[in-house]
C-alpha cells in the first residue's frame, strides 16, 4: 500500500518512513504543506498521514483543499496533545482518524490498516479468498491454514491483489502501491513478483489471471 507521509520534522519523518517501509508500505515523504497539496492531487495513494503544523500550507488547509477536490483518500492526522481544537476541526473537515503525539508505531500501523480496509469496502481485519487468509493484525498470510512466507514486495503485491479480489488492477497501479516515488526500478518489475506469487499459489485453488489491457485479478477457482 502506498502512503503519503506529511511531517515537517525531518527526524520524525525519516524514522516513520523507515518504520512504515518495514511494515510493507511504499512511503513518499514531504515536509511542506504546499508540496503535499500538489502530491495529493494524484489518486495513487491509499492513505495519507498528515501533520497539522506545516510550512507554506498548514495541515488543515491541505485537508480542506483535498476534500474540496472530491478526494476520498483516507487521512490520519498526527497532532500534539495541545491541539484538541485543531483535531476536532480536522475531523469535521473530513479527516478519518487522528493520533496524538507521542504515539506508538504499532497503533499507527493498525489505524492505517483499518482506514485502508474500510476504504476498500472491507471492515473485517481478516480477509479470505478460497484457501487464502490474511490477518491484517499480525500481517500474516495463511494458505490452507499454514503460514505463507513471502518477501516484503511479494507480500505487498499479494495484499493489493487480495484487497481488490475479483477486480482488475493494472501493472502501473500495482507498481505505484508497492514502490515509493523515488524507486529506481520500472513498472515491469511487477511481472517478476506476479510470477513468483503464481508459483507460491500453485495447486492452491487460487490463480492470478492476466486480463489483456486491464491488468491482474486474484481469483479462487
For the chain, give the DSSP string: -EEEEE-S-HHHHHHHHHHHHHTT-EEEEE--HHHHHHHTTSTT-SEEEEES--SSS-HHHHHHHHHHTT----EEEEEETT-HHHHHHHHHHT--EEEEES--HHHHHHHHHHHHHHHTT--SSEEEETTEEEETTTTEEEETTEEE---HHHHHHHHHHHHTTTS-B-HHHHHHHHS-TT-SS-TTHHHHHHHHHHHHTTTTTEEEEEETTTEEEEEE-
In this predicted structure, the answer to whether residue 64 has a pLDDT above a threshold of 90 is yes
What pLDDT does 198 receive? Answer: 94
pTM, rounded to two decimals = 0.72
In this predicted structure, the answer to whether residue 10 has a pLDDT above a threshold of 80 is yes
Q: What is the pLDDT of residues 92-141, one digit of tens each?
A: 889 999 888 888 888 888 888 888 888 877 666 788 899 999 887 778 89
Q: Domains (ranges, CATH) in the chain?
A: 2-119 (3.40.50.2300), 126-220 (1.10.10.10)
Amino acid at each position: 500500500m502506498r502512503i503519503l507521509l506529511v511531517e515537517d520534522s525531518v527526524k520524525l519523518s525519516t524514522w516513520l518512513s523507515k518504520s512504515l517501509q518495514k511494515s510493507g508500505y511504499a512511503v513518499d515523504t514531504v515536509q511542506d504543506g504546499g508540496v503535499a497539496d500538489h502530491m495529493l492531487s494524484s489518486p495513487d495513494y491509499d492513505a495519507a498521514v498528515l501533520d497539522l503544523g506545516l510550512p507554506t500550507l498548514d495541515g488543515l488547509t491541505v485537508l480542506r483543499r483535498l476534500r474540496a477536490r472530491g478526494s476520498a483518500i483516507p487521512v490520519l492526522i498526527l497532532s500534539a496533545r495541545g491541539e484538541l481544537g485543531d483535531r476536532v476541526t480536522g475531523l469535521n473537515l473530513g479527516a478519518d482518524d487522528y493520533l496524538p503525539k507521542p504515539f506508538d508505531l504499532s497503533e499507527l500501523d493498525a489505524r492505517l490498516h483499518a482506514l485502508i480496509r474500510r476504504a476498500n469496502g472491507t471492515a473485517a481485519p481478516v480477509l479470505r479468498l478460497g484457501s487464502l487468509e490474511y490477518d491484517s493484525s499480525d500481517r500474516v498470510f495463511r494458505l490452507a491454514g499454514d503460514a505463507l512466507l513471502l518477501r516484503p514486495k511479494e507480500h505487498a503485491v499479494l495484499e493489493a491483489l487480495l484487497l481488490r479480489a475479483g477486480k482488475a488492477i493494472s501493472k502501473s497501479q500495482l507498481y505505484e502501491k508497492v514502490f515509493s516515488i523515488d524507486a529506481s526500478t520500472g513498472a515491469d518489475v511487477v511481472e517478476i513478483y506476479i510470477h513468483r506469487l503464481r508459483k507460491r499459489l500453485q495447486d492452491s485453488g487460487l490463480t492470478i489471471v492476466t486480463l489483456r489491457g486491464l491488468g491482474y485479478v486474484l481469483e479462487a477457482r
